[in-house]
């Protein structure tokens, strides 16, 4: 038992992990109705990683991965640890979202949680396997089940921060595999911002940054002209940002 002169809240971390559910390049058919006036975009869907709780409270409900912070553990380390334990996801982009601490957000005791925004690419981390007994899975952000605690609010805050961050930092590339097509980048922006973008203008802006380098390869196994592959020039980006760089896409 651990005793204190004053009551102490418990502190947890929770991770809103976003990924991109890429429409598989090969399967062109499936439910391809309203294709008439689409501006030529195959949208990927933005998804969130959830786990199914097997303990009370909210046993059986879906929730963000997370858990209690150890007493000598850094907050970010705790977030990474819990995420790894519960979903097997490691090596990802992480950014603090903020603290959520409404007095009644957990029925057991006062629990203050520090939420993190995380981004993975589903290519390096294909459909996360839960190393834990619980179920884990990806859900489209527009199609979430009811969530435990105040996790819906945390997801909403995560989405908002994602949208805000995407406007001045090229974090989108955290979603993508090392080699990607410009089409994928555009679909990703469209999925995050929730609006469709002009293909030519988008590519113009992308190229203007000089952060995207074309490779001598093209995508494969597509039923149409293959797209050029590109990679993100991380070194150049680091160099530019060191001297105060603004992205603004």
Partner DNA sequence: GCAAAAGTGTTTATGATACACCCATGC
Partner DNA sequence: GCATGGGTGTATCATAAACACTTTTGC
Q: Between 124 and 217, whose beta carbon lies closer to DNA?
A: 217
Q: Which does 59 bind (CB under 5 to 8 A by kind): DNA, its own copies, none?
A: none
Helix or strand or coil: residue 141? coil
Stretch that binds its own copies, among 23-31, 110-118, 146-154, 181-189 (CB under 8 A): 110-118
Identified binder of DNA from the candidate list 8, 163, 167, 204, rule CB under 7 A: 204
Neighbours of 69 (CB within 10 A): 21
How far apart CA 136 and CA 169 sit, in angstroms, is 29
Residue 108 binds: one of DNA, its own copies, none (C-beta under 5 to 8 A by kind):
none
| Closest of 111, 93, 89 to residue 101, by C-alpha | 111
Q: How many CB atoms lie within 10 A of CB 121?
A: 20
C-beta of 7 vs 126, nearer to its own copies = 7
Closest Cα partner for 14 from 91, 140, 103, 106? 106
Q: Smallest distance, Å, CB 227 to its own copies?
A: 33
Length of the chain: 249
Q: 183 is in the binding site of which of its own copies, DNA, none (Cβ under 5 to 8 A by kind)? A: DNA
Radius of gyration of the CA atoms of the chain, in A: 20
Tell me if 106 sits within 8 A of 165, measured CB to CB. no
Q: Using CB under 7 A, pick the residue from 59, 129, 156, 226 that binds DNA.
A: 226
DSSP 215: E
Site string for its own copies, 10-39 (x = CB under 8 A): xx----------------------------
Query: Does residue number 224 form part of the binding site for DNA (CB under 7 A)?
Result: yes
Give the CA dihedral 67, 108, 135, 154, nearest 10 degrees: -60
Q: Which is nearer to DNA, 156 or 226 (CB)?
A: 226
In the complex, the residues that contact its own copies under the rule CB under 8 A are 1-11, 68-69, 71-75, 96, 98-99, 101-103, 110, 112, 114
């Amino acid at each position: 038992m651990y005793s204190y002169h004053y009551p102490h809240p418990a502190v947890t971390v929770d991770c809103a992990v976003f990924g991109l559910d890429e429409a598989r390049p090969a399967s062109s058919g499936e439910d391809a109705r309203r294709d008439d006036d689409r501006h030529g975009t195959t949208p990927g869907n933005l998804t969130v990683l959830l786990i199914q709780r097997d303990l009370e409270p909210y046993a059986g409900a879906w929730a963000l991965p997370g858990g209690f912070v150890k007493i000598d553990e850094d907050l970010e380390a705790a977030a990474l640890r819990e995420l790894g334990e519960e979903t097997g996801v490691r090596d990802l982009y992480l950014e603090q979202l903020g603290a959520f601490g409404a007095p009644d957000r957990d029925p057991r005791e006062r629990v203050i949680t520090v939420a993190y925004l995380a981004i993975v690419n589903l290519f390096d981390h294909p459909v996360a396997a839960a190393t834990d007994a619980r179920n884990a899975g990806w859900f489209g952000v527009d199609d979430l089940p009811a969530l435990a605690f105040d996790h819906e609010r945390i997801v909403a805050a995560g989405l908002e921060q994602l949208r805000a961050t995407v406007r001045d930092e090229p974090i989108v590339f955290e979603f993508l595999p090392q080699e990607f097509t410009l089409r994928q980048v555009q679909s990703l922006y469209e999925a995050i911002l929730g609006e469709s973008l002009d293909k030519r203008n988008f590519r113009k802006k992308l190229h203007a940054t000089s952060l995207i380098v074309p490779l001598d390869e093209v995508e494969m196994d597509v039923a149409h002209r293959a797209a050029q592959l590109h990679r993100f020039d991380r070194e150049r980006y680091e160099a530019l940002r060191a001297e105060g760089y603004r992205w603004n896409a």
